[in-house]
A and B are shown apart, each in its own frame.
Chain A
Amino acid sequence: MKHIKNIQKPCLRSGKNTACGECQASCQSACKTSCTVANQKCVKTAK
């Protein structure tokens, strides 16, 4: 493509092997107010 370059593949995972609930509650991270969730890691995929 001449005008548009994909630089990040789809990354919102759903379905099989998701929703295990083992990752950290977002409010328990550094912020305690701002509730950013996407900067957390999935405990299954993160190395």
Chain B
Amino acid sequence: MIHAFEYRGTFLVLDVESGAVHEVDKPSFDVISALERGNALYALPYSRSLIDEITEEISELKADGLFDTPAPEPVSSDGAASPIKSMCLNVAHDCNLRCAYCFAETGEFHGGRMLMPFSTAKAALDMLIKKSGGRHHLEVDLFGGEPLMSWDVVKKTVAYGRELEKKFDKHINFTITTNGVALDDEKIDFINKEMHNVVISIDGRREVHDALRVTPNGRGSYDTIVPKAQKLVRERGEGEHYIRGTYTADNLDFTEDVRALADLGFEQISVEPVVLKPDEPHAINDSNVDCAIAEYDRLADLMIERKKEGRPFNFFHFHIDLDNAPCLAKRALGCGAGVEYVAVAPNGNVYPCHQFVGDDRFLLGNVLDADGAGNMKLNDDIRRSFGSCNIFTKEKCSKCWAKYYCSGGCAANAFKLNGSISEPCEVSCKLLKKRTEIAIGMATVKD
């Protein structure tokens, strides 16, 4: 399989199954595009000798394993037997904001507001250690709702995790995802000392942020959050972090939001499309997705312009390190939800990922049912259904050129929008493909 595309005036061809990339001239681009679409080559407005010259070069590349490389043997996973290495710990099903697009029902997760007792967090970590098998690197994301509302549990959980690391020879990367409202000096110090990564939610321009990220009394939260986020990032230095925004149908000019975040001094930026059903307010859907796709070109221009000016920023989805990217197995098996990754609700219920929390059709078990050593039974059937859902088994994904870059997309979004974890969301796919083309272009073409 091949994919021909244009990146800022340069014609590129991706050999999907090997990951090789070629820069081609316009006639070659047209020939390869015709091949990709199954169209007749000699109908193109080029001489027969030129087309023959190009097809000869293609044949040479094929012989070298650089063009239309055959697909590898499918990778599979018995989801029920897989170690669990990653956990989203919902320490608070409550939030101090009421964001209009919140997937978690402004923090309630379909089940009422609740903070996680430390005993439950402790049982969750015990289960993680027990289920992690031989995996050395483990991950725990302190999530919510708003995790800073359960600060005491955050601190105790990290301390307990450090004990477990020593006892079981594991390394736990703690991360935290916060709206930043409750940050203060003590929390900033702790986060910068203990967290491998921190994600702070800011949507960009003040008016965009304040329109949807509001307090319970309806006031915008931008002025509360931004100075605290700036302080945290300033004091964090080179430590991993992201300022993560959400764009909706209301700000399809989201390049301006990224620009606003960069102007605030943030250099690690991720702005994501909102995930809502097509008919919900603020949704990205078929009627506006082309605007969003075009906007990514503007964003690429801004990123390159800022780099040339000596004030660069990194946009999460435009950054691919092709030579050090994950292996085929990782790319094939997806996000790991339900297999190597689970989420735990404040009441101890375990779900395949944070987006399934509260949906008891996907309940895997409860950490409080474990014995004192973390032994417990999870729902094998659900785990197997996630394990068998991958880019080789999903019909649309198996034929898609972007499969090794998105890994099949988000199972939760697929379920939310299409009623099946195996049926990817078309709008998300379109956006992902555009971002991937730009990322590949940025990684391979000199500015």
Contacts and interface: CB of A to CB of B under 8 A. Distances in A.
Interface of A: 1-14, 18-19, 21-43, 45-47
6 contacts: A2-B57, A4-B13, A7-B444, A33-B410, A36-B406, A38-B407
B15 A28 contact: no
B354 A32 contact: yes
Given A36-B316, A39-B320, A26 B336 contact: yes
Given A1-B57, A4-B58, A11 B323 contact: yes
Which residue among B17, B23, B58, B177 has the maximum number of chain A CB atoms within 10 Å of its CB? B23
Given A32-B354, A39-B316, A6 B66 contact: yes
A1 to B, nearest CB: 5
B248 interface: no
A6 B22 contact: yes
A23 B135 CA distance: 10
- The 7 A-B residue pairs with the shortest CB-CB distance in the complex, in nearest-first order: A19-B329, A18-B327, A8-B21, A10-B18, A25-B86, A30-B242, A37-B407
B60 interface: yes
Interface residues of B, number: 87
B436 interface: yes
A7 B23 contact: yes
Contacts of B326: 23, 37-38, 40-42
Contact of A11 (B27, B57, B325, B335): B325
A29 to B, nearest CB: 8
Contacts of B431: 34
Contacts of A35: 334-335, 406-410, 432
Q: A interface, by DSSP: helix, strand, loop or mixed?
A: loop
B319 to A, nearest CB: 5
A26 B439 CA distance: 17
B135 A22 contact: yes
Which residue among B135, B324, B404, B443 has the maximum number of chain A CB atoms within 10 Å of its CB? B324
Interface in B88-105: 88, 103
Interface of B: 13, 15, 17-25, 27-28, 53-54, 57-58, 60-61, 65-66, 69, 72, 75, 83, 85-86, 88, 103, 135-137, 139, 141, 173, 175, 177, 197, 199, 242, 244, 268, 270, 272-273, 275, 316-317, 319-331, 334-337, 340-341, 353-355, 404-410, 413, 428, 431-432, 435-436, 439, 443-445
Nearest to B171: A22
Contacts of B404: 12, 37-38
Given A3-B25, A5-B24, A28-B141, A36 B432 contact: yes
Contacts of B320: 38-39
Nearest to A5: B23
Contacts of B329: 14, 18-19
Which residue among A1, A24, A28 has the maximum number of chain B CB atoms within 10 Å of its CB? A28
A8 B320 CA distance: 13
Contacts of A28: 86, 88, 139, 141, 175, 341
